[in-house]
Structure 1
Amino acid sequence: MSVVGVDLGTLNTVIAVARNRGVDVITNEVSNRATPTLVGFGPKSRYIGETAKNQEVSNLKNTVSSFTRLAGRSLNDPDVQVEKDFVSAALVDINGQVGAEVSYLGKKEKFTATQITAAFLTKVKQTASAELKLPVSDVVLSVPVWYTDAQRRAILDASEIAGLKCLRLINDTTATALGYGITKTDLPPPEEKPRRIVFVDIGHSNYTASVVEFKKGELAVKSSAWDRHFGGRYIDKAMVDHFAKEFKEKFKIDVNENSKARFRVQVAVEKLKKVLSANTFAPINIESVMNDIDVRGQMKREELEELIKSMLDRVTIPIEQALADAKLKKEDIDGIEMVGGSTRVPAIKTAIQNYFGKTLSFTLNQDEAVARGCAFSCAILSPVFRVRDFSVHDQVNYPIEFTWEKSDDIPDEDTSLTVFNKGNVMPSTKILTFYRKHPFDLEAKYAKPEMLPGKTNPWIGRFSVKGVKEDSKGDFMICKLKARLNVHGVLNVESGYYVEETEVEEPVPEPPKEEKKDGEAMDVDSKETKEEPPKMRKVKKQQRKGDLPLSAGTASLDQASKDAAAERENQMIMEDKLVADTENQKNELESFIYELKDKIISVYSEFASDDEKSKLSAKLETIEDWLYDEGDDATKGQYIGKMEEIRSIAGPIIQRYNDKIEEERQAVLKKQQEAAAAKQAEIERKKREEEAKKQAEAEQQAKDTEMSDADAVKPDEVEEPSA
């Protein structure tokens, strides 16, 4: 069973897996640790990840980026209008959802942002499966902390369409905090003051600051604040606009008139920005940017900081807001952990460090911390891994209220209630009680729409409660509804049931007996004390009597739509696979032709007659000409057929060569065996000679011993000297 965590970023996606008693970030098909978050559409197949990046400049209008920021949004959302500056494909409305119109398989097609996200997740699934050599199903996906219910549902729908089971949608900074805390062995015990860390995550497109408290075995997110339009891409845009103006003045070209030219400048300034993070000056040179004109320029770090001054002025605002929401001062913070690619910008680091007046910490991998935290979260939720006990308490970021129609039988009834307040612990469950005689509906929505990103519709869902009726006495039915904000941050009314109030008798609790004071005499009763029966009282208690059917309408796709999208995705996967297999077969045919052309005049030459050589050479020339003419866009079956045509002539030649090689191999093997046998025989002979020699020496030693014994003079044989 796989345990996979995915940092689903705007620019790049990082995949981490739990294994080998730890967490590893895995590489993609070109050995990169981060995969471009791109989906492109072509005349034959889709391009996803690295392949989409490779053909992006030549296929701009059909390449979709930033789709994670589009999922769950509508086209008229102001945030979506902002995305038009960063998405080269045409954005369109598809049944109230934003999507992209692209040219796919030679015709115009529209795909929702949810479908495009699902397409990318299938690539994530394939990459993880190839690395683990196991089927991948369970994942934890990261999302920005400011995502609404609709956006979270869109990501969950996308993962289901891709055939993945999302165990948890986890906020980016919460994942980072988990990766930080679960490996720490020096966290304070529960009874002591917690360790307070501010996590600052500034990525490609957004900036989040979260205040997190750590104790041994747990973390609690106390507050989060964000700037949705702060990050690397806004720095890139400011630089592109600057150089576009400069090139227009110096080289008389306007890169804004040509999308490919502007994209080339964007690629160049992204590299320039990285150089300026470590140096105070850097040049820029772009060959043939437009109209065969080469351009060059330069920029100082001070110039860049002046270009993005309006953004730098906002750099501490999310941190200030997070501290205010947590009711803490900057002096209360024990550490500041920086993650995200844009935290490498010196001006940003300096501004945050000056605000806190203490050294910033970069102990976590800035690009991989979120993915590692996701993998830890997946391991905690997976039954096949043993992980150190660690509780994660996230929080509600937008207050949620329920509204309902007033009952005619309860004229003074309130019709709304804020059930989940900002700052409440998440996940969380609340029981709502209604007194009704008829079926009724209630709606969930965000209580403060002005807090939501863009102009997001505050509506979350409508829930209909069925089976409600008067009781036998004509009184109200007491309806209980279980509302839950789950681990994904998604709201649902999970169940409904009704209860009845019944009177039951229970003993009245006795008041606590007064203790005797010191020196007070004991009362002694000489008569037997009779035990009085306990006093009883009647109380009303609610007993569950039955379930109430529920129907829900939310921003999630209905099952039929998800099934249709999943079927369409599987069709596109098969089309992609067929194109890849066809390309592999074409390459194999081309390689086979060149290999035979070389070998027929070298290693195969002595195994073919002149007639066979001429026939094979002619066939190779014919098929090579076909391959670079009408065969350039042939089917997989045609390539296989051409391969068989060549093999029908080359097969006997190759077989003779292989037979000769096998014969030589057998001869060599036979010689090796004979040499080995001779060597073994020589070893045995030497062994026998050695044993014979040892035996002869032993026999000689025995003889020598006998002779010495015989020559020895016995004491009683010595003659006495004569007188």
Structure 2
Amino acid sequence: MSVVGIDLGNLQSVISVARNRGIDVICNEVSNRATPSLVSFGYKQRYLGESAKTQEVSNFKNTVGSLKRLAGRTFNNPEVQEFEKPFINAELVDVDGQVGVKVNYLGEEQSFSNVQLLAMYLSKLKDITAAEINGPVSDCVITVPGWFTEVQRRAILSGAQIAGLNPLRLVNDLTAAALGYGITKLDLPEDKPRNVVFVDVGHSSYSVGVVSFIKGQLTVRGCAYDQHFGGRNFDQVLTDHLAAEFKEKYKIDVYSNSKALLRLRVAAERCKKILSTNPQAPVNIESIMDDKDVSALINRTDFEEWAAHLFTRTEDNLRKALENAGMTVADIDAVEIVGGSTRIPAIKTTISNYFGKTISTTLNQDEAVSRGAALQCAMLSPVFKVRDFRVNDIASYPVKVQWPKTPEDEDTEIVAFDVNNSIPSTKILTFHRSEPFTLEAVYAQPDLLPRGTNPWIGQYTVKDIKPVNGEAAQVKVKIRLNIHGVFSVESAYTVEEKTVDEEFTNKDGEKETKKVKKLVKTADLTVVSQATDVPVNVVNNYTEKESQMAANDKLIMATEAAKNSLEEYGYEMRDKVTGPLSEYIDPSIKEQFENDLSAVVDWIYEEGDEQPKSVYVEKLDALKKIGSPVVERYREAESRPRAIKSLRDELERLTKEAMSGDEKYSHIPAQDKQDIVDRCDRARRWLDEQIAKQEVLPKHDTPVLFSRDINKEQDAVNAFAFPLLNKPKPAPKPEEPAADAEMADADKAEPTEDKEEQKDEMDID
């Protein structure tokens, strides 16, 4: 069973697996440890991850990023329109009430929702993992930002389901990093907690968490988030200034050309990374637009001045996290940073100065979250044994349950799960009802949510309620904030108060009976839920479409591979038939074979460009029917001399050892040695005869002597000689003791009678 952790990033994602008593970050098909979070659509197929990255500039209108930021959001959401739309070149549209994209796929316009896009990308991550571990992938743990709401978390779960994954948990990314940090620490205190601040500045958001560690567990105390602070914001600062400089210097407006803007953003990102380790960074872009090449030189000091408004926000989030945790700077023992954007020197300086501490880099900035997710998956998996370590995570938003006013109720709402409520968490609400009723779950503080988020979580109707003895029934409703941070009504049931007789022994030792009132569960009730998850029928439809698209992708890739194999074979054989293979092909068919190879190459670039896989395979098989024997004759001519030399050397060695007077072979019978010599002679004669037959054959005829036959003969000789040459020496006979030797001499000298007497005496002794 696989144990997989997926750090689902906005720019790129990292996959880790638990194996070999540790956690490994796995590489994708081009040996990168992170896979671009991109989906691209083409005329014949989809391109996912790395292949989508190569399409990003040339096919930018059909390439989609920001998959995580779109998850669970609607088209009209102001967050989407203001913050995500500028970073997505594909056209955003409404799809089944969700934000999606309209792209050109398979030669026609098609629309896909954000959940479908997520499923496509997660399917790619699943395939990468399956290829690495050589087995199926199902159970996993996926990381999400702590500020994700109910609808966003449900979108991730739906996308994973469509992709054929089974998320054991959606874990907050900072919690995953904290788990990876804490579980390896063997010096955690048993009483006074060690308080560590985790700072994660990623591509699009900024998270800070305060976590307390004691031996065997971690507890998240408080978090703070800036949902619009990350690497892409710093890229945008550079993009804006470079665009302004190019407009003045080269008289071009990059913002008027989408492709030019995309190329400038790529260059800005590269420039930012260089400035993290160097005081200056050059920017050079050839033919950015209007056939103009542009260049610039950026100084780190200038960059920090341009981005000063961003750096001030770094400290704000640190302050909020401490406030939410109820702590001060003095309570913090260490500060850990993760996320690619924490490499920016000004950010590290701000964090260090705020806490008055040197920043710790125990964790790998790019891979810590993924590793922690894999650890969490191993802890949840029944097939892995992991050191006991408890994870106490918290909810970011308070959840309120409300209901219509009735005569039985004084209140109509309750905050069931408050800020920093632990997850998972279960509570039971008690109602008195005579008929079905409806509960509604909403976020209690909408102002804490991402802008434009609907605070509504779900509606739950409890049915099958009837009065008990003419009075309202007592109804228990079990609500839960589950391991994913998702709210649900687990069950509902009625209870009845009954009086029962209960025996007990009094202080005098006498048995007495008293009546005791007890609540007894009497019936389960039906709960009909309506929540923010994608409807089942829509998920099923998406799953079917994803299966069809995945099958099409595989067919196209297999067809392309078959075409490439045919093309490669045509070019390669055409050159070799007139070169090294020239002597090994029958002259009567050589010219026709050359013509056939040339015809295939020309055909591929004409009417053969878009043919079914079977056509390419059929043509390749027809060419190989002639070409393979030619290649085999050439390879035999190359390998036969080596095989002949190897057999001759072995025969010489065995003959020499059998005829030698070496002490280690002195125990071997002479007949056995002669048998070895005779067997070697037979092998030599066979080899000489076969070589003579082969030498008179033309090179283009089928060989009579193959290297495999020579190797087989060598193995047969060794199998005959080895047991004979390796016979163990017989064990030496034990020497007689000295006393026995003297007695033997005495026996020779004395008469038989005396010997008998001596024997009797010895027996007496």
TM-score normalized by the length of structure 1: 0.89
Displacement of 1:690 in angstroms is 9.3
> Which shifted more, 676-685 or 127-136?
676-685
Question: Is 1:552 the counterpart of 2:553 in the alignment?
Answer: no
Aligned to 1:675, what secondary structure does the other structure show?
A: helix
CA distance in structure 2 between the aligned counterparts of 1:650 and 1:94, rounded to whole angstroms: 54
Question: Is 1:51 the counterpart of 2:51 in the alignment?
Answer: yes
Q: Which whole-Å deviations, capped at 9, do the CAs of 1:581-602 have from their partners, x for residues lacking one?
A: 1111111111211221122123
Q: Which whole-Å deviations, capped at 9, do the CAs of 1:651-670 have from their partners, x for residues lacking one?
A: 55446556767876775565
Question: Is 1:485 the counterpart of 2:481 in the alignment?
Answer: yes
CA distance in structure 1 between the aligned counterparts of 2:59 and 2:660, rounded to whole angstroms: 73
CA distance in structure 2 between the aligned counterparts of 1:683 and 1:563, rounded to whole angstroms: 80
Displacement of 1:126 in angstroms is 0.9
2:356: which partner in 1? 357
2:692: which partner in 1? none
Change in 2 beyond 3 A, CA 1:380/1:691: closer
Q: How does 1:76-155 map to 2 (within 5 A)?
A: 76-81=76-81, 82-155=83-156
Displacement of 1:627 in angstroms is 1.2
CA distance in structure 2 between the aligned counterparts of 1:301 and 1:313, rounded to whole angstroms: 17
Displacement of 1:140 in angstroms is 0.3
Aligned to 1:633, what secondary structure does the other structure show?
A: coil
CA distance in structure 1 between the aligned counterparts of 2:654 and 2:357, rounded to whole angstroms: 78
CA distance in structure 2 between the aligned counterparts of 1:608 and 1:173, rounded to whole angstroms: 67
1:615, 1:649 within 8 Å by CA — same for their partners in 2? no
> Which shifted more, 588-597 or 3-12?
588-597
CA distance in structure 2 between the aligned counterparts of 1:590 and 1:679, rounded to whole angstroms: 53
Aligned to 1:168, what secondary structure does the other structure show?
A: strand
1:525: which partner in 2? none
Q: How does 1:428-439 map to 2 (within 5 A)?
A: 428-439=425-436
TM-score normalized by the length of structure 2: 0.84
Displacement of 1:229 in angstroms is 0.3
- Unpaired runs of at least 5, structure 2: 671-765
2:460, 2:528 within 8 Å by CA — same for their partners in 1? yes
1:404, 1:441 within 8 Å by CA — same for their partners in 2? yes
2:574, 2:598 within 8 Å by CA — same for their partners in 1? no
2:367: which partner in 1? 368
CA distance in structure 1 between the aligned counterparts of 2:371 and 2:669, rounded to whole angstroms: 71
Displacement of 1:243 in angstroms is 0.7
Q: Which amino acid aligns with 2:392?
A: H
> Which shifted more, 636-645 or 72-81?
636-645
**Matched residue pairs, number?**
669
Change in 2 beyond 3 A, CA 1:638/1:338: same
CA distance in structure 2 between the aligned counterparts of 1:59 and 1:364, rounded to whole angstroms: 37
CA distance in structure 1 between the aligned counterparts of 2:434 and 2:600, rounded to whole angstroms: 82
Q: How does 1:196-275 map to 2 (within 5 A)?
A: 196-275=195-274
Give the RMSD, CA atoms, in angstroms.
2.2
CA distance in structure 2 between the aligned counterparts of 1:56 and 1:6, rounded to whole angstroms: 23
1:704: which partner in 2? none
CA distance in structure 1 between the aligned counterparts of 2:131 and 2:360, rounded to whole angstroms: 35
Displacement of 1:442 in angstroms is 1.0
Q: Which whole-Å deviations, capped at 9, do the CAs of 1:183-233 have from their partners, x for residues lacking one?
A: 0001011xx210001111001100001110000000000101010000100
Q: Please, which of 616, 621, 645 is the counterpart of residue 598 of structure 2?
A: 621
2:763: which partner in 1? none
Displacement of 1:686 in angstroms is 7.2
Change in 2 beyond 3 A, CA 1:657/1:402: same
Q: Please, which of 584, 595, 599 is the counterpart of residue 576 of structure 2?
A: 599
1:385: which partner in 2? 384
Q: How does 1:416-495 map to 2 (within 5 A)?
A: 416-471=413-468, 473-495=469-491
Change in 2 beyond 3 A, CA 1:235/1:624: same
Q: Which whole-Å deviations, capped at 9, do the CAs of 1:532-588 have from their partners, x for residues lacking one?
A: 747765442110112111121111123332222111111111111111111111111
2:4: which partner in 1? 4
Question: Is 1:21 the counterpart of 2:21 in the alignment?
Answer: yes
CA distance in structure 1 between the aligned counterparts of 2:225 and 2:621, rounded to whole angstroms: 62
Change in 2 beyond 3 A, CA 1:611/1:389: same
Change in 2 beyond 3 A, CA 1:683/1:564: farther
2:325: which partner in 1? 326
2:520: which partner in 1? 543
Change in 2 beyond 3 A, CA 1:505/1:269: same
CA distance in structure 1 between the aligned counterparts of 2:395 and 2:301, rounded to whole angstroms: 40
Aligned to 1:492, what secondary structure does the other structure show?
A: strand
Q: Which whole-Å deviations, capped at 9, do the CAs of 1:605-626 have from their partners, x for residues lacking one?
A: 2233333011101111111111
Change in 2 beyond 3 A, CA 1:672/1:310: same
1:188, 1:216 within 8 Å by CA — same for their partners in 2? yes
Q: Which whole-Å deviations, capped at 9, do the CAs of 1:110-151 have from their partners, x for residues lacking one?
A: 111111111111111111111111211110000000000110
2:571, 2:601 within 8 Å by CA — same for their partners in 1? no
Aligned to 1:631, what secondary structure does the other structure show?
A: coil
Q: Which amino acid aligns with 1:642?
A: K
1:399: which partner in 2? 398
Q: Which amino acid aligns with 2:68?
A: T
CA distance in structure 2 between the aligned counterparts of 1:298 and 1:657, rounded to whole angstroms: 58
CA distance in structure 2 between the aligned counterparts of 1:89 and 1:96, rounded to whole angstroms: 18
Q: Which amino acid aligns with 1:432?
A: L
Q: Considering Cα pairs closer than 8 Å and 6+ residues apart, tell me whether 1 or 2 has the greater RCO.
A: 1
2:209, 2:220 within 8 Å by CA — same for their partners in 1? yes
Q: Which amino acid aligns with 1:128?
A: T
2:181, 2:362 within 8 Å by CA — same for their partners in 1? no
Q: Which whole-Å deviations, capped at 9, do the CAs of 1:438-494 have from their partners, x for residues lacking one?
A: 1111111111111111111111111111211112x2111111111010110001111
Displacement of 1:158 in angstroms is 0.6
2:753: which partner in 1? none
Q: Which amino acid aligns with 2:456?
A: W
CA distance in structure 2 between the aligned counterparts of 1:669 and 1:142, rounded to whole angstroms: 59
Q: Which amino acid aligns with 1:459?
A: W
Question: Is 1:562 the counterpart of 2:539 in the alignment?
Answer: yes
CA distance in structure 2 between the aligned counterparts of 1:570 and 1:275, rounded to whole angstroms: 42
2:296: which partner in 1? 297
- Unpaired runs of at least 5, structure 1: 511-529, 694-723
Displacement of 1:167 in angstroms is 0.4
1:579: which partner in 2? 556
Displacement of 1:262 in angstroms is 1.0
Question: Is 1:164 the counterpart of 2:165 in the alignment?
Answer: yes
Displacement of 1:673 in angstroms is 5.1
Displacement of 1:688 in angstroms is 6.0
Aligned to 1:632, what secondary structure does the other structure show?
A: coil
Change in 2 beyond 3 A, CA 1:593/1:466: same
Q: Which amino acid aligns with 1:283?
A: P
Displacement of 1:685 in angstroms is 7.5
Displacement of 1:649 in angstroms is 3.8
Q: Which amino acid aligns with 1:570?
A: S
2:96, 2:113 within 8 Å by CA — same for their partners in 1? no
2:339: which partner in 1? 340
CA distance in structure 2 between the aligned counterparts of 1:289 and 1:384, rounded to whole angstroms: 54
CA distance in structure 2 between the aligned counterparts of 1:42 and 1:199, rounded to whole angstroms: 41
CA distance in structure 2 between the aligned counterparts of 1:684 and 1:260, rounded to whole angstroms: 84
